[in-house]
Amino acid sequence: MSQFSDIEIARAADKLPIQEIGARLGIPAADLLPYGHDKAKVGQRFIDGLKDRPDGRLILVTAINPTPAGEGKTTTTVGLGDALNRIGKNAAICIREASLGPNFGMKGGAAGGGYAQVVPMEDMNLHFTGDFHAITSAHNLLSAMIDNHVYWGNDLEIDTRRIVWRRVVDMNDRALRQITASLGGVTNGFPREAGFDITVASEVMAILCLATDLDDLQRRLGDMIVAYRRDKTPVFARDLKADGAMTVLLRDAMQPNLVQTLENNPAFVHGGPFANIAHGCNSVIATKTALKLSDYVVTEAGFGADLGAEKFFDIKCRKAGLRPDAAVLVATIRALKMNGGVAKADLGGADAEAVRRGCANLGRHLSNLKGFGVPVVVAINHFSGDTPAEITAVQDYVREHGAEAVVCRHWAEGGRGVEALAEKVVRLAESGAASFAPLYEDGMGLFDKIDTVARRIYHADQAIADATVRQQLHAWEAQGYGHLPVCMAKTQYSFTTDPTLRGAPVGHDVPVREVRLSAGAGFVVAVCGDIMTMPGLPREPAAERIRLSEAGHVEGLF
């Protein structure tokens, strides 16, 4: 175990100039747009020139259902990337950008930890290269244009009660969840109910992460539904002529960001959509660019494998034509213990029996992942208190279920501590065992898609929904949206919709409370529980302690 904190380790990093990181990938300095000395965007023209190159191998890092004990998906992604480079592969990692707002609520830090980190950590948790600000601006320009259109006569006959396009801010601000806007008289417009979401919940964010280039971006932006008329026909962003200006605002943001790990290996950090009402993966353009420039690309998906991996496969890979070569399923002894029924306060004691019981959760994810035709290896993200008996319990369980579990010590040792996993990943990926296929065909009905995910991935008896929901799905099928994949918005803490049910529950239904159409992003969201799209600040927000130190360092953010 390290005696240093994450931020101390990050500050002591021996960073290379970002041009040197780019050079390792074959990116000329002229095609890197620097942001300071340790961050850069990869120029669009350079990316356009890569089309004919072969792709490297794509590795997904996913996890068991998250618990308060922590799993370490990002640290494993970083550590595996470093380890692959150590064993002679040219590897890059692809992860998501952090949202600014939540850092001022609870302690932040979304760049790994220990000796498996991406740097510069402070910048990555602040404005970074401005991508999220650009998304906020583009989103709110459309919002302003909607109300402005109504103000000047409403030629499109928008029903102001049915404006579904809200505003966004990258801040935890519960006071903005529900507002009445346009008050104060004639010059301020027509009063109506409105509200704000946090920026990462914006459909523009999901689109930026799924678009293949600027033309595709603009087409998708134009396809977004912003409101309905009294006859319930949709009004699109294109009808408001907002798609061109939004694309201009997003032009720089579309270029993937390049930074580095503590071991000076390339890391693409780009995009960060919500993992409930959106698909929770870094951008397609970053992943595809990395695949053109590396032998191996290690990426991750939000939450546990039931949500994150399923969406990675069924939304991102399906739509972008990606074919993953292997998956790493991350677990910790502590989290498995919690899945085995141990309370957080009792995690201190060794309990191999509880670990074995908790492996039911792991086993279900393992079989789910194999169902996508992707070979899987389990990574045991090692904590210092783990006992040999507990580790053996996991390894035995996983072996019984036809896979292998490798102990990984990236947090304490960096890439060196995860070379065994890297070797295993290479063997799996180069075995040719992968034959990826998404869970369902495009042609399946929308409700059947939801039901298929519920049964096959959540191991539920069925998905259930009232007539209103089913009619809405049928209406969208009639309007030509039936081919879209579904995006499940469900608690990440359980296979069920009850966050308290850990392990591998059976006998549950998945009630679909509401469905939403993200016509630009290209998926239908099935809301199965309470989904919060605008967080609040806690009683004592982290912001109260965040400040610059005498030395100019950021304190309190991590």
User: And the tokens for 48?
Assistant: 């356009």
Minimum separation from the CB atom of position 552 to its own copies (A): 7
Residue number with CB closer to its own copies (529 or 541): 541
Rounded to an integer, what distance in angstroms lies between the CA atom of residue 535 and that of residue 198? 7
Q: Tokens 């130190």 sit at which residue?
A: 549
Residue number with CB closer to its own copies (30 or 389): 30
Q: Which of 275, 290, 354, 465 is catalytic?
A: 275
Whether 411 sits among the annotated catalytic residues: the reply is yes
Whether 275 sits among the annotated catalytic residues: the reply is yes
Beta strands in 53-95 (DSSP E): 57-63, 91-95
CB 61 within 8 A of CB 80: yes
At 324, is the secondary structure helix, strand, or coil?
Answer: coil
User: And the tokens for 416?
Assistant: 């060196």
Q: Which of 39, 73, 319, 490 is catalytic?
A: 73
Whether 107 sits among the annotated catalytic residues: the reply is yes
Q: Which of 62, 75, 496, 497 is catalytic?
A: 75
User: And the tokens for 486?
Assistant: 């579904």
Rounded to an integer, what distance in angstroms lies between the CA atom of residue 178 and that of residue 174? 8
484: nearest Cα among 441, 429, 454: 441
Q: Is 345 annotated as a binding residue?
A: no
Whether 196 sits among the annotated catalytic residues: the reply is no
Q: Is 424 annotated as a binding residue?
A: no
Q: Is 175 annotated as a binding residue?
A: no
Q: Is 71 annotated as a binding residue?
A: yes
Cβ neighbours of 190 (radius 10 Å): 12
CB within 8 Å of 58: residues ≥ 6 apart: 287, 291, 297, 299, 322, 323, 324, 325
Minimum separation from the CB atom of position 6 to its own copies (A): 17
Whether 177 sits among the annotated catalytic residues: the reply is no
Minimum separation from the CB atom of position 140 to its own copies (A): 5
Q: Which of 41, 89, 96, 318 is catalytic?
A: 96
Bridge partners, 464 (sequence order) = 511
Q: Is 74 annotated as a binding residue?
A: yes
Residue number with CB closer to its own copies (214 or 360): 214
Cis peptide before 120 (omega within 30 of 0): yes
Minimum separation from the CB atom of position 468 to its own copies (A): 22
The separation between the first and the last C-alpha atoms of the chain, rounded to the nearest angstrom, is: 19
Query: What φ, ψ does residue 230 adopt, rounded to 5°?
Result: -60, -30
Strands 266-269 and 57-63, by their bridges, are unpaired
Residue number with CB closer to its own copies (195 or 499): 195
Q: Is 289 annotated as a binding residue?
A: no
Residue number with CB closer to its own copies (44 or 452): 44
Q: Which amino acid is at 489?
A: A
Residue number with CB closer to its own copies (134 or 347): 134
Residue number with CB closer to its own copies (399 or 547): 547
Minimum separation from the CB atom of position 42 to its own copies (A): 12
What H or E segment, with its residue span, contains residue 511?
Answer: strand 509-511
Q: Which of 411, 495, 523, 558 is catalytic?
A: 411
Q: How many CA atoms lie within 13 A of 333 on its CB side?
A: 25
Minimum separation from the CB atom of position 254 to its own copies (A): 11
Rounded to an integer, what distance in angstroms lies between the CA atom of residue 400 and that of residue 384? 26
Q: Which amino acid is at 258?
A: L
Q: Is 505 annotated as a binding residue?
A: no
Q: Is 73 annotated as a binding residue?
A: yes
Whether 96 sits among the annotated catalytic residues: the reply is yes
Residue number with CB closer to its own copies (437 or 543): 543
With b for 16 or more beta-carbon neighbours within 10 A and e for fewer, the 194-230 pattern comes to bebbbbbbbbbbbbbbbbeebeebbbbbbbbbbbbee
Q: Which of 165, 196, 268, 303 is catalytic?
A: 303
Q: Radius of gyration (Cα) for the chain, nearest Å?
A: 23
What H or E segment, with its residue span, contains residue 361?
Answer: helix 352-371
Rounded to an integer, what distance in angstroms lies between the CA atom of residue 295 and that of residue 266? 12
Minimum separation from the CB atom of position 35 to its own copies (A): 6
Minimum separation from the CB atom of position 68 to its own copies (A): 22
* Active-site amino acid positions: 73, 75, 96, 107, 275, 303, 383, 411
Annotation: binding site for ATP:
67-74
Annotation: binding site:
67-74
